[in-house]
Amino acid sequence: MAFGGGLEEEADISEINMTPLVDVMLVLLIIFIITVPVLTHSVKIDLPRIDNTPNEIKPETINLSVNAEGNIFWNEGQITFEELEARLNLESSKQPQPEVHIRGDKAVPYEHVIKTMAAVQRSGILKLGFVTEPGS
């Protein structure tokens, strides 16, 4: 005998099933417990550091000076024009080529400085510069 109208409807279950969530959490907890001791047990060593920049070989600098009388000086030593050309030809074959810095006296005739520049150019040296003093 049925009470209450005779029709029974099954109610939908509106609760969340917690069993799969608990299973996943337990598996993650076990994985965490196993991996943590492995991560903390490491050997401290001091590894060498490397630098991959190439070592640059700085070319030598040749200082040529021309004084007021037109005399030529190679790094403080006086030379003749013929010695200048011979030394420049020898230096131009070096790798890397040296840099040539020319210092001209304020009172020197322009011709002497131009001859020195032309000798440097004929020898094949590519880096040529002038050294000046800043004006006041």
Q: Give the model confidence (pLDDT) of 81-112 as tens digits.
A: 999 999 999 999 988 899 999 999 989 988 99
**Which residues are registered as beta bridge partners of 101?**
63, 129
Peptide bond into 96 cis (omega under 30): yes
User: Do the domain assignments include residue 50?
Assistant: no
CATH number of the structural domain spanning residue 82: 3.30.420.270
Residue 66 confidence (pLDDT): 94
User: Do the domain assignments include residue 65?
Assistant: yes
DSSP 58-96: PPPEEEEEE-TT--EEETTEEE-HHHHHHHHHHHHTSSS
User: Do the domain assignments include residue 30?
Assistant: no
pLDDT 10s digits, 25-50:
999 999 988 888 776 666 788 877 88
Q: Domain tally for the chain?
A: 1
Percent of the chain with pLDDT over 70: 86
Model confidence at 2: pLDDT above 70: no
User: Do the domain assignments include residue 85?
Assistant: yes
User: Do the domain assignments include residue 14?
Assistant: no
CA angle 46, 47, 52 (to 5 degrees): 145
User: Do the domain assignments include residue 48?
Assistant: no
Model confidence at 65: pLDDT above 90: yes
Residue among 48, 45, 44, 85 nearest 64 (CA): 85
User: Do the domain assignments include residue 71?
Assistant: yes
User: Do the domain assignments include residue 25?
Assistant: no
> What range defines the domain where residue 125 resides?
61-130
